[in-house]
Structure 1
Amino acid sequence: MRLRVLTPSFGRYSSEPAALAAELGVELEYQTDGHPKAAGDVVAAIGDAPAVLVGLDEVSAEVFAACPQLRVVAKHGVGTDNIDLAAAAAAGVVVVNTPGANADAVADLTLGLMLAGSRRIIEAERSLRAGNWDVFLGAQLGGKRLGVLGFGRIGRAVAHRAVAFGMRVAAYDPYVPASVLEEAGVEAGSLDEIVASSDILTLHLPGDGGPLLTRERLLRMPHGAGLVNAARGGLVDESALAEALESGRLAFAALDALEHEPPRADDPLLVAPNLILTPHIGAFTDAANTAMGTMAVAEVARVLDGGKPRFRVVG
């Protein structure tokens, strides 16, 4: 059983995924240079392998048409918006992912970004290093209303942590029944209701090709609100966000996901005030890296052995 590995994050911080591959008889073949790869480079990297493990690589219809021997695509993570699922289904290729593997890691980072933005931690640290000893008035999380857009595993993990900080949590998710929110003790609301009433807004929905937080929705956020995006960069109109920060309408924003990764040198976000930027590190913890790698390897082995995968997306 052969598996082409395209994402350099596979097993980077843990030896367990490679050890499990050896135990299951999965031969790992690495093609991790130039990640993320465009479709043409993905085709060349897959070659005649029956399985591929991808990160943010473009797995389009072109890939499935050019790789008829391909049987399984495994996502090293959860989001599959970089994979043409309809084309995979038409080609009879199984697509699997690793749900829940990085939920705690992303939730931890989300709370960290909320705290850093609300308490102006980075601004204060930079000021001190510059030789100052200034006062930075911040906001406590306790008592604030947190709007969670997306109530899957990560959104629920964030809500659980936020409640421990004394926050009031409301959520919107078009894919999750209202009963799930009620059972979690979270108030349900429409997208526009949550946007317009949240002291802090955090995004945990998949990208769908267009911004969820458009210029109009950003303008509906309460004056002095905060925004955290640890999901997909395309969910936010970044030009409008930069303007909202420049004008002081938003107190802070923190982004772990950007529309262009890495950002261009002239990206207005790079000079926007009260903005925290991190290089898409949400899933990069030791535990998450281990879990994503071992789950992906096990899924590939199941499919290539003719078994039933546990985390099938399509196929």
Structure 2
Amino acid sequence: MKKILIATVKPFAPVAVKKISKIFEKAGYEVRLLERYFEKQELLDAVKDVDAAIIRSDIFDEEVLNAGKNLKIVVRAGAGYDNVDLKVASENNIVVMNTPGQNANAVAELAIGLAILGLREQFSGKPGGEMRGRTLGLHGFGFVARNVFRIARAMGMKVIVYTRYSKAAAAAIGLKVTNSLEQLYEKSDIVSIHVPARGEHLKSVSYEVLQHLKDGSIIVNTARKEVINEPDLVRIMTEKPGIKYMSDLTPDCEAEFEEKFPGRFFFTPKKAGAQTAEANLNAGLAAAEQIVDFFEKGDTTYQVNK
């Protein structure tokens, strides 16, 4: 009998756990639950003899992966998977998957909400602005960005995008693709960032790009803080006092923001993009189905450590 661990410091909703468990029980698998654990040793003990694991923001580093002697697959219920050591997983012949698209609408709605929060001066009583008629620039064009486009278009916005790898897909649905990242930032009233924290995207939002922003524009980041060059962001916000930064994650230089830019930033207390009941359920069910398909059919469609 396959043993499946659901390891979640931030637990799934009870209804999600129930439905996830039903998928495994139907397949004849045993489900083990580790929620809200406080010590890493609890995770190390729990992973020792399981065949698969579903995780959220939980850290599966070298120590944890090596402890999972029987592990064959780890599925991150969500899009990002920088909390898993892919190199060690590959060395241990462990397949790592994510569940792309399952949280996309939730994150997209947050991105739009953060943009509105910035435009309306965080509802402080100061006169603000409206989304309609403004230009929204999508930095990246994955699942979340496509949902942002859908919502923004319904709000009467003009939407443009910069993407290296999805130009045809963007053009096919009527999006104007800019020639460069610099051009995207130059033409946008609001920039929404949707790129992963790896490779060429690390610190890609640098001064060379940010200097093209209009004074008064808004940067919305629901991706990862690692894609931002934080000293460069501080520099451009100093040079252009109308720029605002609305983020679903707190930068390392939070204290500097509080000192220099009051009223011009907002950071969620903890990453909130996927924190909806619907996303919670969708990602969990997808993760469970992927594990069953992996064991029963050899399906590795969503493997990220190839």
What band does the TM-score fall into relative to the shorter chain? 0.7 to 0.9
Whichever residue aligns with residue 90 of structure 2, its letter is A
Residue in structure 2 matched with residue 25 of structure 1 by the alignment: 28
Residue in structure 2 matched with residue 203 of structure 1 by the alignment: 193
Give me the whole-angstrom Cα distance separating, in 2, the residues matched to 1:254 and 1:27.
Answer: 43
Gapped runs of 5+ residues in structure 2?
none
Aligned residue for 2:138, secondary structure, equals strand
Deviation at 1:306, TM superposition (A): 5.1
Residue in structure 2 matched with residue 110 of structure 1 by the alignment: 111
Deviation at 1:179, TM superposition (A): 0.9
Residue in structure 2 matched with residue 231 of structure 1 by the alignment: 223
Q: Does 1:93 align with 2:82?
A: no
Deviation at 1:149, TM superposition (A): 0.9
Residue in structure 2 matched with residue 303 of structure 1 by the alignment: 294
Give me the whole-angstrom Cα distance separating, in 1, the residues matched to 2:244 and 2:283.
Answer: 31
Report which stretch shifted further, 102-111 or 305-314. Answer: 305-314
Whichever residue aligns with residue 25 of structure 1, its letter is G
Give me the whole-angstrom Cα distance separating, in 1, the residues matched to 2:242 and 2:233.
Answer: 8
Give me the whole-angstrom Cα distance separating, in 2, the residues matched to 1:168 and 1:215.
Answer: 25
Deviation at 1:42, TM superposition (A): 5.3
Q: Cα deviation per residue 1:222-258 (whole Å; 9 max; x = unaligned)?
A: 2111010011121223344345445553432210023
Q: Are the equivalent residues in 1 in contact too, given 2:48–2:69 (CA < 8 A)?
A: no
Q: Are the equivalent residues in 1 in contact too, given 2:225–2:251 (CA < 8 A)?
A: yes
Q: Are the equivalent residues in 2 in contact too, given 1:232–1:259 (CA < 8 A)?
A: no
Residue in structure 2 matched with residue 252 of structure 1 by the alignment: 244
2:210 aligned to which of 213, 218, 226:
218
Gapped runs of 5+ residues in structure 1?
125-135
Aligned residue for 2:59, secondary structure, equals coil
Residue in structure 2 matched with residue 241 of structure 1 by the alignment: 233
Instruction: Give aligned pairs, total.
Output: 297
Whichever residue aligns with residue 286 of structure 1, its letter is A
Give me the whole-angstrom Cα distance separating, in 2, the residues matched to 1:232 and 1:26.
Answer: 35
Whichever residue aligns with residue 291 of structure 1, its letter is N
Q: Are the equivalent residues in 2 in contact too, given 1:120–1:138 (CA < 8 A)?
A: yes
Residue in structure 2 matched with residue 183 of structure 1 by the alignment: 172
Q: Are the equivalent residues in 2 in contact too, given 1:81–1:206 (CA < 8 A)?
A: no
Aligned residue for 2:220, secondary structure, equals strand
Deviation at 1:294, TM superposition (A): 0.8
**Runs of 4+ with deviation above 6 angstroms:** none
Q: TM-score, normalised by structure 1?
A: 0.83
Residue in structure 1 matched with residue 136 of structure 2 by the alignment: 146
Residue in structure 2 matched with residue 268 of structure 1 by the alignment: 256
Q: Are the equivalent residues in 2 in contact too, given 1:239–1:268 (CA < 8 A)?
A: no
Q: Are the equivalent residues in 2 in contact too, given 1:51–1:73 (CA < 8 A)?
A: yes
Percent same amino acid among aligned pairs? 27
Residue in structure 2 matched with residue 74 of structure 1 by the alignment: 75
Q: TM-score, normalised by structure 2?
A: 0.85
Aligned residue for 2:35, secondary structure, equals coil
Deviation at 1:116, TM superposition (A): 1.2
Q: Structure 1 residues 238, 250: closer, same or farther in 2, change over 3 A?
A: farther
Aligned residue for 2:107, secondary structure, equals helix
Q: Cα deviation per residue 1:9-50 (whole Å; 9 max; x = unaligned)?
A: 442253432333333333332333457x87x87545422211
Aligned residue for 2:160, secondary structure, equals strand
1:289 aligned to which of 276, 280, 293:
280
Q: Structure 1 residues 5, 241: closer, same or farther in 2, change over 3 A?
A: same
